[in-house]
Structure 1
Amino acid sequence: MKHLIIKKLGPIQDVEIELKRINLLIGEQSSGKSTINKTACYCSWVEKEISIAQSPADFEKKGIFELRFSEFHKLNGFIVPETYIEYETDVMRFSFSKKEDAFHFEWKDRWAYIRSKTIYIPAERNIVAAIPNWFDVNLEKNNIRSFMSDWEEARNYYSNEPTQILDLGVKYAFDKNNRKDTVMISENKTLDFTNVSSGLQSLVPLWLLLKYVTEGIYKERQKDSVAREYQNKKLIDRIYSWVLKAGGTSYLLALKDFGIPRKIYNIKHYFANKEQAKEFERIAYHFINLHYSNIFLEEPEENLYPFTQRELIYQMVALLNGPRAHNLFITTHSPYILTSVNNLLFASAVGKSKKKESQKIISQKYWVNFEDVGAWFVKNGSVTSILDPKLKQIKAEKIDEVSRKLNREYDKLSDLEYEVD
């Protein structure tokens, strides 16, 4: 359960939504879609930071919650005296009130947290192609810099061999020695990344990052910084102290290699019994290791042909349907994005009674359960659900209002043309 409330933040007046595994926001430009996305992203990160520190003290310092939020997501001027943000999960509940200039916090189940990777992929992602020497630029500490840091990790991870970009017959490659990005558009033609189409400049970093945060990052252990190692060591000590509260130290557990580096945490721990030791193992495993990713994505359709938008959504869902419970939050202007998701919802629904026949049309790896989706239309500072609980789809009339208006205009002109004088 993830519940988000936003009041009086930039263009947002009053929003309350229950976040699902796949979340979609559509609406006109400047309607507040990105503001909701950024707020959800920031709150997800705050939950992680408090859980790992096992204390909200840092965010309770005067002005810290607001300052970090405004700087990272470039929201200066968005926060007003009436601004209020509230976020609740199974682990904790916290809120920020600008009027009170206070951050309020309460634990719900502090040891239920499962560590995740939170990533924000901005609409400006083609900057990595547009500015060849971006890694030499002194950037502010905001979501663009964070995105570039994640991009650096991803392209280094996939540098050993060219990576296929969807099913477009295009491959991306990164030469670590020369720090050169190239795109193979055919067997005989390779272009510098800065010279490919705007669509590929937007799609390549998006697809590579999606693959990395849903697959690659979990295939090899990420090296922790010295600060993170120290933080994890303190976290292990806190978990041990909490589990040991029942008393007794007769049972010895030598830490097994369940994801915690022996060289850092190979300390003898004593417990009252095996059950207590297993509880320690379970909590430590959840807190120290990454288990899934929270992906916050702006405008996946950017510079893409409609058919490619469809392919991107299908392949994106296939990544989400892997062994880990990843979450996705999308803002979009594209009816093709919503229509693509609708087809996957419909395939899942039809597949419950006609599985084999449905799989011949749309493979099961792309299917989406209706219960896993949240979809809203953003207008006038608030949101309206565009899901039809009876049909278990996104409401057809909300997918492409512009096309319907154009069709009505065309029909009126057609009637006029054939009108009998």
Structure 2
Amino acid sequence: MSRIRIKNFGPIKSGYNQQEGWLDINKVTVFIGNQGSGKSTVAKLISTFSWIEKVLVRGDYNKSRFENDNALKDQYISYHRLENYFTDETCLEYEGDAYCIVYDKGDVKIYENSNAKTYTLPQIMYVPAERNFISYVKTPKELKLSSKSLSEFLTEFDNARKSIKDDIDLPVNNTKLDYDQLNDSLNVLGSNYSVGLTEASSGFQSLVPLFLVSDYLSKNVSRQSKDNASHMSVDEKERFKTKVQEILQNDSLTEEQQRLAISVLSSKFNKSSLINIVEEPEQNLFPSSQWNILQSLLGFNNINVGNKLILTTHSPYMVNFLSIAIQAETLKNEVLKNDNKDELLKKLDAVIEANAIVSGDEVAIYQLNELDGSIGKLQSFEGIPSSNNYLNNSLIQGNSMFDSLLEIEEEL
């Protein structure tokens, strides 16, 4: 399991208050907190360091390229516009399955992980909160975006859009998504209506890019993990061919050794997992739609063992619905032991999609405090996240305020 430690970086000061500051990056990892508390900051650092680890494993760059304070800040951390978050006391550490990356007060060191397990080459996707902007304009590919992460998301959105062959079922309101190839446009189809995505509600404009790209990438990665190099990018194919030729021209290797070397090389190039990092999946969505998109994201995350889903959220529904997915997994394990399991499984499937359940052991929810820059982990009971969290407490505060108003009214 990968993990990260952050101190004195942007809004994050003391960092995580347990495990010597190490945040575990689980199968499902959620960050909650007020505006400016650092939720997206942590998610963007995970995205950046995961990418650096990937290109080191793949051999795109030598680690000396990153062992430079200015290069790390100005070229790579700046990808997510975090270069101004550094202070003289900043300490960042990332421990992945293959590499460890340490930034300590201006000094950058990278080590191979001596405890490394099998590394699965990931497709890393950062889904920004600004995604609805892509849906709003009619020709998003012509946009000149200053955000590199949004530009990359737009590229994958365009790839996903053009891959549509038949109507796609959307997870809300029994709607479908249609791609009009002639006009190069997306349309939302209901039972008795059709509306272009650019004219659709803000909820659809937020949901469609998230759902479409997540669906496309999770399935594409799943195919890559089973197929050969046919799904590589053009640059990857060229590097792969060059390295294969080097192996085949090495007379010191036996034929069996050459086959083994090429097999190892292929595993480095074919992506076999998806790290899907999503800002505010609930954006502009009704609570029931939030539940539906969460089920979809969990389903995509469960396609491959190595997949990871990282969420930032302001929605209490997201945490509560995640508790349902965890409880469903616990319940399913008990149902499978029951003589009446077939009937009980049908009832369970009516509550939650079968592929959307998740073990509580694979979930971590962190709360970020904007006042002191600290991070705490949401406690759980038998795997179920505690209802005593920042988001639910805000709802309780609202009820308390209303009670106070009633008390004043009684004094009139």
**TM-score normalized by the length of structure 2:** 0.86
Give 1:168's aligned amino acid: N
Partners of 2:172 and 2:289 within 8 A in 1: no
**What is the DSSP-based 3-state SS (H/G/I as helix, E as strand, rest coil) of the residue aligned with 2:284?**
coil
**What is the DSSP-based 3-state SS (H/G/I as helix, E as strand, rest coil) of the residue aligned with 1:80?**
coil
The match for 2:25 is 19
Tell me the number of residue pairs that the alignment of Structure 1 and Structure 2 aligns.
387
The Cα of 1:291 is off from its aligned counterpart by 0.5
| Residue 171 (structure 2) pairs with residue 166 (structure 1) | yes
The match for 1:354 is 335
State the distance in 2 between where 1:367 and 1:385 align: 21
Give 1:401's aligned amino acid: N
Deviations 1:250-300 (A, max 9, x none): 4x24xxxxxxxxxxxxxxxx55xxxxx54x355223212111100110000
Q: Output the aligned Cα RMSD.
A: 2.7
Judging changes above 3 Å, is the alpha-carbon distance between structure 1 residues 383 and 62 closer, same or farther for their aligned structure 2 residues?
closer
The match for 1:224 is 233
The match for 1:264 is none
Give 2:110's aligned amino acid: F
**What is the DSSP-based 3-state SS (H/G/I as helix, E as strand, rest coil) of the residue aligned with 1:297?**
strand
State the distance in 1 between where 2:199 and 2:327 align: 39
State the distance in 2 between where 1:62 and 1:414 align: 58
The Cα of 1:397 is off from its aligned counterpart by 1.4
Partners of 2:222 and 2:304 within 8 A in 1: no
Judging changes above 3 Å, is the alpha-carbon distance between structure 1 residues 234 and 87 closer, same or farther for their aligned structure 2 residues?
farther
- Aligned pairs for 1:85-100 (under 5 A) are 85-97=92-104, 99-100=105-106
- Aligned pairs for 1:260-279 (under 5 A) are 270=257, 277-278=259-260
Of 365, 369, 374, 1:382 maps to 374
State the distance in 2 between where 1:76 and 1:334 align: 28
Which of the two has greater strand per residue? Answer: 1
Q: Percent identity?
A: 23
The match for 2:144 is 138
The Cα of 1:171 is off from its aligned counterpart by 1.7
The match for 1:262 is none
Judging changes above 3 Å, is the alpha-carbon distance between structure 1 residues 47 and 240 closer, same or farther for their aligned structure 2 residues?
farther
**What is the DSSP-based 3-state SS (H/G/I as helix, E as strand, rest coil) of the residue aligned with 2:145?**
coil
Q: Which moved more, 1:323-332 or 1:22-31?
A: 323-332
| Residue 395 (structure 2) pairs with residue 391 (structure 1) | no
State the distance in 2 between where 1:119 and 1:111 align: 23
The match for 2:19 is none
Give 1:314's aligned amino acid: Q
The Cα of 1:183 is off from its aligned counterpart by 1.8
| Residue 150 (structure 2) pairs with residue 150 (structure 1) | no
State the distance in 2 between where 1:408 and 1:206 align: 36
Judging changes above 3 Å, is the alpha-carbon distance between structure 1 residues 303 and 228 closer, same or farther for their aligned structure 2 residues?
same
| Residue 96 (structure 2) pairs with residue 104 (structure 1) | no
State the distance in 2 between where 1:372 and 1:333 align: 21
Q: Which moved more, 1:408-417 or 1:32-41?
A: 408-417
Partners of 2:128 and 2:149 within 8 A in 1: yes
State the distance in 1 between where 2:242 and 2:103 align: 27
| Residue 184 (structure 2) pairs with residue 179 (structure 1) | yes
Partners of 1:239 and 1:283 within 8 A in 2: no
Give 2:146's aligned amino acid: E
The Cα of 1:418 is off from its aligned counterpart by 6.2
**TM-score normalized by the length of structure 1:** 0.84
Partners of 1:345 and 1:368 within 8 A in 2: yes
Judging changes above 3 Å, is the alpha-carbon distance between structure 1 residues 111 and 316 closer, same or farther for their aligned structure 2 residues?
closer
The match for 1:409 is 401
Judging changes above 3 Å, is the alpha-carbon distance between structure 1 residues 148 and 298 closer, same or farther for their aligned structure 2 residues?
same
State the distance in 2 between where 1:60 and 1:210 align: 32
State the distance in 1 between where 2:109 and 2:76 align: 16
Give 2:382's aligned amino acid: L
State the distance in 2 between where 1:38 and 1:77 align: 14
The match for 1:334 is 315
Give 1:232's aligned amino acid: F
The Cα of 1:133 is off from its aligned counterpart by 2.3
State the distance in 2 between where 1:383 and 1:32 align: 9
The match for 2:133 is 127
The match for 1:49 is 55
The Cα of 1:413 is off from its aligned counterpart by 4.5
Deviations 1:176-195 (A, max 9, x none): 343222222334x2212111
The match for 2:88 is 81
Partners of 1:347 and 1:358 within 8 A in 2: no
The match for 1:316 is 297
State the distance in 1 between where 2:69 and 2:395 align: 49
State the distance in 1 between where 2:119 and 2:248 align: 16
Judging changes above 3 Å, is the alpha-carbon distance between structure 1 residues 192 and 375 closer, same or farther for their aligned structure 2 residues?
same
Q: Structure 2: where are the runs of 5+ without partners?
A: 16-21, 225-229
**What is the DSSP-based 3-state SS (H/G/I as helix, E as strand, rest coil) of the residue aligned with 1:397?**
coil
**What is the DSSP-based 3-state SS (H/G/I as helix, E as strand, rest coil) of the residue aligned with 1:63?**
helix
Q: Structure 1: where are the runs of 5+ without partners?
A: 254-269, 272-276
The Cα of 1:217 is off from its aligned counterpart by 4.7
Of 40, 63, 74, 1:67 maps to 74
State the distance in 1 between where 2:30 and 2:147 align: 27
Partners of 1:126 and 1:201 within 8 A in 2: yes
Deviations 1:76-123 (A, max 9, x none): 4222222221100231111123x33x3201112579432110000000
State the distance in 2 between where 1:125 and 1:167 align: 18
State the distance in 1 between where 2:399 and 2:40 align: 30
